[in-house]
């Protein structure tokens, strides 16, 4: 879903912008940083799948979750590296 990918991108971009302002004191920040690491981050996306209700869709979800992860990476690092610039 393109709409969800755009939302994930915007969300991760804002996380990247604010991560240094919070000075790494919150444990949730470390989870977000781990999610922004290329290989480890995919492990944070896969458990979000609702296994109990839609277990039969998991192969398709696992196939397309790298796209979601790439969008998250692009947004996070763009926001992190260019955090002082305006949109």
- Are the C-beta atoms of 51 and 58 separated by less than 8 Å? yes
Which residues of the chain are modeled with pLDDT < 70?
Answer: 23-25, 83-87
- Whole-structure pTM value: 0.75
What are the residues whose beta carbons fall under 8 Å from the beta carbon of 78, sequence distance 6 or more? 13, 16
| Rounded-to-integer distance, Cα 67 and Cα 74, Å | 11
- Helical segments of the chain, H only: 2-18, 27-35, 42-45, 51-54, 58-81
* Per-residue pLDDT, 17: 84
């Amino acid at each position: 879903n393109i709409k969800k990918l755009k939302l994930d991108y915007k969300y991760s971009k804002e996380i990247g912008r604010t991560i240094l302002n919070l000075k790494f004191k919150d444990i949730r920040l470390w989870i977000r940083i781990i999610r922004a690491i290329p290989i480890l981050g995919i492990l944070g996306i896969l458990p979000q799948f609702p296994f109990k209700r839609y277990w039969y869709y998991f192969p398709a979800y696992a196939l397309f979750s790298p796209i979601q992860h790439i969008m998250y990476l692009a947004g996070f690092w763009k926001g992190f590296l260019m955090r002082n610039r305006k949109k």
